[in-house]
Amino acid sequence: MKFKNTHKDFQVTDESVYRQRRQLLKAGLIGAGSLLAPSAMALTLPAHKRNDKFSIEKTTLEKDVTTYNNFYEFGLGKDDPAENAKNFNTDDWSIEVSGHCNKTGTFDLEKLIKNFTIEERIYRMRCVEAWSMVIPWLGFKLADLIKYLEPTSNAKYVYFETLYDPKQMPGQNGRAIPWPYREGLRMDEAMNELTLMAVGLFGKNMPNQNGAPIRLVTPWKYGFKGIKSIKKIAFVDKQPVNSWQAIAPNEYGFYANVNPEVDHPRWSQATERRITGEFSFFRNRIDTQIYNGYAEYVASMYQGMDLRKNF
């Protein structure tokens, strides 16, 4: 027994097809962002190429990536963000930078991203709830932004905050999380070549429900580390307390590195359900890889650390 697939095969983007499409984009036949209608004021993304250095798997269907989200600012259900973030206004977005760095102040996002190379990277995304996707992000290296902001030697950690605006974000009227959402990275993690500031996916601007206009992507960590709709960045000398750690310190840590050996106290992390967009009754579960399969890039940062203690 198998459910009927209502989508055609070509909607599950094969890498080769996808590549051809990117070639077309590069050739300028289609301007980036032209596929995006809703907001005329969306961030203008400069031309971008795919970075093929990272492992490439069949991506999850775009429909699933953009309708199955955890973004509690817009509701607790997985389908809430797509519904409730429709009118989220991200025009003229700016980011406040503070703390131990030479360039503090408020930066206009449109102008800021002109300083960096935007590229496409296909990363695995593993949620702490034990499901996963494969997503083609558009973004620039956080390392480039950090170099640009010139942190001082006192900057040991980078701290992030999501926008706080209960009028626009109905979920912030509830008390699921002490708002605004907060996250942080150790400086070496932030400078790691994998760490991305994402401004889009599937070759288009970032959909509101996925964290428009700019979000963090750390593919070797659980999804909740990828803070969305970033409004504040601060260079700090102490390890910040991230939101999930504040809610349940015995269940969610600061590092949140994907690790099949270290279970969540209430469920196993050894396997995950890979969401592809093609449903069948079989082979839905795959083994979870240490650091989500990115050990070669990140394992050295955690050498000598007890991963059970520093979960």
Partner 1 sequence: MKDFLMRKLFWLKAVLFVLCLLPLAIIVWDGFQNNLTADPIEEILHRTGIWALRLLLLTLLMTPLKVMTKLAVFIRLRRMLGLFTFFYATLHLTTYLWLDIQFNWSQFFEDIIKRPYITVGMAAWLLMLPMAITSNKRMVRRLGKSWKRLHRVIYLVILLACLHFIWLVKSDLNEPLIYTVIGLSLLFFRLFNYSYGKKPRNP
In the complex, the residues that contact partner 1 under the rule CB under 8 A are 3-7, 60-61, 63-64, 67-68, 76, 78-79, 128-129, 131, 176-177, 247-248, 263, 266-268, 270-271, 273, 275, 277, 279, 281-285
Closest to 124 (Cα-Cα) out of 295, 293, 310? 293
Q: Amino acid letter at 39?
A: S
Q: How far is CA 295 from the centre of its chain?
A: 18
| C-beta of 90 vs 269, nearer to partner 1 | 269
Q: Report, in Å, the least distance between residue 267 CB and partner 1.
A: 6
Q: Report, in Å, the least distance between residue 149 CB and partner 1.
A: 33
| C-beta of 29 vs 248, nearer to partner 1 | 248
Q: Amino acid letter at 81?
A: P
| C-beta of 51 vs 67, nearer to partner 1 | 67
| C-beta of 68 vs 140, nearer to partner 1 | 68
Rounded Cα gap, residues 271 and 288, in angstroms: 5
Rounded Cα gap, residues 103 and 38, in angstroms: 34
Q: Report, in Å, the least distance between residue 3 CB and partner 1.
A: 5
Q: Report, in Å, the least distance between residue 163 CB and partner 1.
A: 20
Q: Report, in Å, the least distance between residue 293 CB and partner 1.
A: 20
Rounded Cα gap, residues 302 and 188, in angstroms: 10
| C-beta of 6 vs 102, nearer to partner 1 | 6
Pairing of strands 131-141, 271-274: parallel
Rounded Cα gap, residues 217 and 4, in angstroms: 33
| C-beta of 78 vs 100, nearer to partner 1 | 78
Rounded Cα gap, residues 134 and 137, in angstroms: 9
Q: Report, in Å, the least distance between residue 307 CB and partner 1.
A: 18
Rounded Cα gap, residues 110 and 114, in angstroms: 7
Phi, psi (degrees; rounded to nearest 5) at 67: -125, 0
| C-beta of 80 vs 161, nearer to partner 1 | 80
Q: Report, in Å, the least distance between residue 156 CB and partner 1.
A: 29
Q: Which residues of 134-147 are buried (b: 16+ CB within 10 A; e: fewer)?
A: bbbbbbbbbbebbe
What are the tokens at 57? 């798997």
